[in-house]
Amino acid sequence: MHRNAYRAVILLATLLGGIGHAAPPRGIVVEVTPARQSLTRNQDIIVTVTIRNTSRTWQYLPKWQTPFAGVQAPLFDVTRDGLPVSYLGIMVKRAPPTSADLIALAPGAARSSRVELSALYRMDITGAYTIRYRTDRLQGATAPLAASVWIDGRLPRGLPESSYEPVTTAAPAGAGLTFNHCSNAQQDSIAASVQAAQSMAQDGDAYLRAGVLAERYTSWFGPRDEARAATVARHFDAIRDAFATRPITVDCACTQPWYAYVYPNQPYTIHVCKAFWTAPLTGTDSRGGTLVHEMSHFTVVAGADDWAYGQAAAGALAGSNPDRAIDNADSHEYFGENTPYRNARRR
């Protein structure tokens, strides 16, 4: 690439990075290459993702923002005939990254992985698809090219996604708690955890309804702002409502070290994992709070994302990027857990 053009790309990546001014561009370039450009309904959609370090220094990337340990987050932006395509894969609540969670790339090195996309994105409708790697949370990275594929799918072209419900969990109507793969002891623990989550959601909702946005709000969602506060209030109203009135299913089959995960478009099924069972009932990173976090992910509830994990990063996000903080699941969790206690509704 021409040197000036290269500089322009780096500058653009920095500007688009949001909090990018705090970190220099890192020279990570991501390519997505489809195995086939035209596919029929019985073929899997295989792409090769290559992450290349074009800088002169070692680079360290959180494993979960790469496909190298399986896709555990919405790593791609997929469109069909220009419209966004839903992500169907998992979203995980994690502890902040340790060195064991980082992938090291030497200067000039590249690493590739093959990914099957149609189990992760709605790709059963006929159309022209574009697939672009998301670099908005892989700081300093660029993905200059989108991959294009044509899919002759099982469903007709132009069908709106919403006219077709993907997978819904069969659950009794109305409020209630259903268990999958949970032992008696686990069921007991979950019932208490749902109660704790419900209290947190009610308390958070009441605080926001009072409308005096004191330290409890600003610590997790940033400076007072009417539009943002209205969004957070809507989220907590929906979270409270979901715990109070919706049929919740908790699945205990997960054996990963995570706290929990959900499929955002499969309300209200929450999969709990190993870290959940050793977490306290209430307080920071608790079982109750984890359920608030997961509930915030469902598209029909708050549609929250995972921009930052852990209290330190979530607190920093409130200051550096409040628009992301109000869209961050852990920020909702910490506001709900309210530990340390900051409930005073004073001005």
Helices 329-337, 311-320: axis angle to 10 degrees equals 110
At its nearest, how many Å lie between Zn ion and the CB of residue 273?
Answer: 12
At its nearest, how many Å lie between Zn ion and the CB of residue 197?
Answer: 14
Task: Pull the structure tokens for residue 259.
Answer: 């706290």
Instruction: Please name which of 54, 53, 97 lies closest in space to residue 72, comparing C-alpha atoms.
Output: 97
At its nearest, how many Å lie between Zn ion and the CB of residue 275?
Answer: 13
Residue 26 found at the interface with Zn ion (CB under 5 A): no
Q: Report d(CA 30, CA 52) in Å as an integer.
A: 6
Q: State the number of binding residues for Zn ion (CB under 5 A).
A: 4
Which of these ranges, 16-24, 28-36, 139-147, 299-307, lies near Zn ion under the rule CB under 5 A? Answer: 299-307
Q: Are 115 and 32 in contact (CB under 8 A)?
A: no
Residue 93 found at the interface with Zn ion (CB under 5 A): yes
Residue 306 found at the interface with Zn ion (CB under 5 A): yes
Give the nearer residue to Zn ion in terms of CB position, either 118 or 296.
Answer: 296
Q: Report d(CA 49, CA 31) in Å as an integer.
A: 6
Instruction: Please name which of 332, 156, 157, 110 lies closest in space to residue 228, comparing C-alpha atoms.
Output: 332
Give the nearer residue to Zn ion in terms of CB position, either 39 or 329.
Answer: 329
Give the nearer residue to Zn ion in terms of CB position, either 91 or 201.
Answer: 91
At its nearest, how many Å lie between Zn ion and the CB of residue 278?
Answer: 18
Which of these ranges, 213-221, 222-230, 310-318, 329-337, lies near Zn ion under the rule CB under 5 A? Answer: 329-337
Which of these ranges, 60-68, 84-92, 265-273, 334-342, lies near Zn ion under the rule CB under 5 A? Answer: 84-92
Beta strand spans in 5-133 (E): 28-34, 38-40, 46-53, 59-62, 76-80, 83-84, 91-93, 102-105, 110-116, 127-133
Residue 260 found at the interface with Zn ion (CB under 5 A): no
Give the nearer residue to Zn ion in terms of CB position, either 115 or 329.
Answer: 329
Is the torsion defined by CA of 99, 284, 341, 270 positive or negative? positive
Q: Which H or E element spans position 247?
A: strand 247-251
Q: Report d(CA 334, CA 219) in Å as an integer.
A: 9
Which of these ranges, 103-111, 138-146, 188-196, 325-333, lies near Zn ion under the rule CB under 5 A? Answer: 325-333
Omega before 268 within 30 of 0, i.e. cis:
yes
Residue 329 found at the interface with Zn ion (CB under 5 A): yes
Give the nearer residue to Zn ion in terms of CB position, either 91 or 232.
Answer: 91
Q: Report d(CA 196, CA 247) in Å as an integer.
A: 16
Which of these ranges, 142-150, 151-159, 173-181, 304-312, lies near Zn ion under the rule CB under 5 A? Answer: 304-312
At its nearest, how many Å lie between Zn ion and the CB of residue 79?
Answer: 24
In angstroms, the Cα distances linking 38 to 98, 122, 150, 322 are 41, 16, 5, 42
Give the nearer residue to Zn ion in terms of CB position, either 203 or 306.
Answer: 306
Residue 251 found at the interface with Zn ion (CB under 5 A): no
Catalytic residue among 31, 165, 294, 337: 294
Positions 202 through 231 that interact with Zn ion (CB under 5 A): none
Active site residue 161: no
Instruction: List the Cα angle 311/317/320 in 5-degree steps.
Output: 145
Residues that bind Zn ion (CB under 5 A): 91, 93, 306, 329
Catalytic positions, written as ranges: 294
